[in-house]
Amino acid sequence: METSPRGLVLVVEDEPAIADIQRRYLTREGFGVHVETDGDAALAAVARLRPVAVVLDVGLPGRDGVAVCRALRERDDWTPVLFVTARDDETDRVVGLEMGADDYLTKPFSPRELVARVKAVLRRGEADRGSRVLTAGPVELDPATRRVRLAGEEVALTTTEFNLLEALLDAGGRVVERAELLATAWGVADYGSSRTVDVHVAQLRAKLGTGAPIETVRGVGYRAVP
């Protein structure tokens, strides 16, 4: 299965033509893209897939983009959000940013500008987390240098194996469903490929040996153990 190295971006847009343009340009830049068309589905997708960023139309039917962002922040989910709106109104921009949005674009906009803004938001997040070293048992993972050590000895992992391990350690003991691991490690939301996750977890365990801090939760996914 092809990997999207930059991770999965959730596009929430009820106009199919606009969503398709956003998907094509983001995909061209190495992102996986999953599209939803309403606020409730967007909230469910963020919880299920844990995207690296959300491109969120403000004028959604039903629960609008501001309400979606507010709901995310109220549940302490700080996934980067880039608001998109058809209204060039300073009040809307201020309200959106006060709700916890990370950036704001007004339609019409260049798709290249959208991609640049998404990259900029992600760079800020990477700078914030780059100094953290994630640990579980004898395993240490450094996101900044993308190195893994087992009991002090460096272990060579593929990009996908590293991304899988990082997603599990970063979850802090929470059970991570296979759909979320697909989104995190491959940048896709392909529910028919969950077997791929199992195969790569098995390879990761083989490399880490008895020190592998990975527990299978039957019928759900995996979690890191201390």
What is the pLDDT confidence band of residue 28, given thresholds at 50, 70 and 90? very high
Q: What is the pLDDT of residue 146?
A: 84
State the virtual CA torsion across 51, 130, 76, 197 in degrees, nearest 10: 40
pTM, two decimals, is: 0.69
What is the average per-residue pLDDT within 116-139? 79
What are the pLDDT digits (tens) for 74-125?
998 888 999 998 766 555 666 666 677 888 888 888 999 999 989 888 877 6
Lowest mean pLDDT among 41-55, 120-134, 142-156, 210-224: 120-134
What is the average per-residue pLDDT within 47-58? 92
Place of tokens 């996750």: 197
What is the average per-residue pLDDT within 29-52? 94
Cβ 49 vs Cβ 40: under 8 Å: no
Q: Does residue 23 have a pLDDT over 80?
A: yes
Q: What is the pLDDT of residue 144?
A: 78
State the virtual CA torsion across 183, 186, 191, 192 in degrees, nearest 10: 180
Find all residues with CB under 8 Å of 75, minimum gap 6, and list them.
Answer: none
- C-alpha distances out from residue 198 to 136, 214, 217, 222, 226, Å: 20, 12, 12, 9, 21
Please give the angle made by the CA atoms of 18, 59 and 62, to the nearest 5 degrees.
Answer: 115
Determine the Cα–Cα distance for residues 188 and 177; give it in Å rounded to an integer.
14
pLDDT above 70 covers a percentage of the chain that reads 86
Helices (H), 130-174: 159-170
Give the orientation angle of helix 111-129 with respect to helix 16-28, to 10 degrees.
Answer: 60
